[in-house]
Structure 1
Amino acid sequence: MGRTAQPAALKLIKGRGEGKDTAGRPVNPGPAFKRLPPNPPSWMSSEAKAEWKRVLPGLSRLDLLKPEDRAALAAYCEAWATFVAATRQVQEEGLTINAKQGTLPHPAVGIARSAGRELRSWAAHFGLTPSTEQALARGADDGGEEDNPFA
């Protein structure tokens, strides 16, 4: 399968210069979508809506969102909500359950693990993982290229 392609905006933020990616190649800006944040779906859970409100300002400030990203962002937020609910259940009820077969892992442990994997996958698409954050920080304006001996 290979790596998932990054949006042009992320490539440019991490890039070496005006219109260039990290390898110095020109970045195709892609289609001219209107860069407006999508509205959250009305059916989202309250925890997912809270996550939407938390991440939307940062993603919007970086011009990473368009209305067409609504479904993917909703999936990310609902994966977060599932992760939170399962984690809370494990905290309240413990890591194991007593069953006829003996002591077994609590089902919410597997749900939290699965939701965490899905969450990381969706987060990577939006640049919300720690490694992407570091890459964005490296590509940010340092306020003085001429003073940077490593540029």
Structure 2
Amino acid sequence: MANPNPEPAPLKLLKGRGEGRDSGGRPVKPDPGFRRVAPEPPFWLEGEALDEWQRVVPELARLDILKEGDAATLATYCEMWQTFVEATATLKREGMFIDARQGTLAHPAVAIQRNAAREVRGIAAHFGLTPSAEQALARGAADDDEGNPFD
């Protein structure tokens, strides 16, 4: 079954085994040739979302994987991060449970936090921002392949 969310060629190459090859040794098709430039944050991005943009975009730009068209996906990632932070703050302030007619229930912010975390993880993986993706990039960026018995 094909991967429904393939990685961009630069990420495949960073994880790869050699010139123009992915981690499995297969040739990597070049990207369609988009102009690689970090997008500017949308004018409406603010607070924790803008802070997250300013944390991640310089690193992603350094990897040369960003293009102007990534602005919407990055903004969504940053907004979901802000939603996660706000839900977490609400839970710390108000607690995990509320009293209702039906009895004690989970605070609505629990579901908001959980859904935002899921979205953050999903989008982050597309940009190589998860710990496992970072480790794969670090392995791919290593210059010495002497320890790999399969090369």
Matched with 2:46 is 45
Q: Structure 2 matches for 1:71-150, cutoff 5 A?
A: 71-142=72-143, 144-145=144-145, 148-150=146-148
Q: After the TM superposition, which parts of structure 1 deviate over 6 Å for at least 4 consecutive aligned residues?
A: none
Which 5+ residue runs of structure 2 have no aligned equivalent?
none
State the 1:103 CA deviation: 1.0
Q: Structure 2 matches for 1:54-73, cutoff 5 A?
A: 54-73=55-74
State the 1:22 CA deviation: 1.2
State the alpha-carbon separation in 2 of the partners of residues 93 and 81 from structure 1: 18
State the alpha-carbon separation in 1 of the partners of residues 75 and 95 from structure 2: 29
**Equivalenced residues, count:** 148
Matched with 2:33 is 32
Cα offsets for 1:44-94 (capped at 9, x unmatched) = 231100000000111000001011100000000001000000011001100
% same residue: 59
State the alpha-carbon separation in 1 of the partners of residues 123 and 2 from structure 2: 16
State the 1:149 CA deviation: 3.9
State the 1:32 CA deviation: 1.1
Matched with 1:13 is 14
State the 1:31 CA deviation: 1.1
State the alpha-carbon separation in 2 of the partners of residues 2 and 133 from structure 1: 22
State the alpha-carbon separation in 2 of the partners of residues 30 and 114 from structure 1: 31
State the 1:9 CA deviation: 0.4
State the alpha-carbon separation in 2 of the partners of residues 38 and 149 from structure 1: 38
Q: Which moved more, 1:10-19 or 1:20-29?
A: 20-29
TM-score under structure 1 length normalisation: 0.93
Matched with 1:22 is 23
Give me the CA root mean square deviation: 1.4
Does the aligned pair in 2 maintain the 1:13–1:140 contact within 8 Å? yes
TM-score under structure 2 length normalisation: 0.93
Which 5+ residue runs of structure 1 have no aligned equivalent?
none
Cα offsets for 1:21-58 (capped at 9, x unmatched) = 11211111121111110000011231100000000111
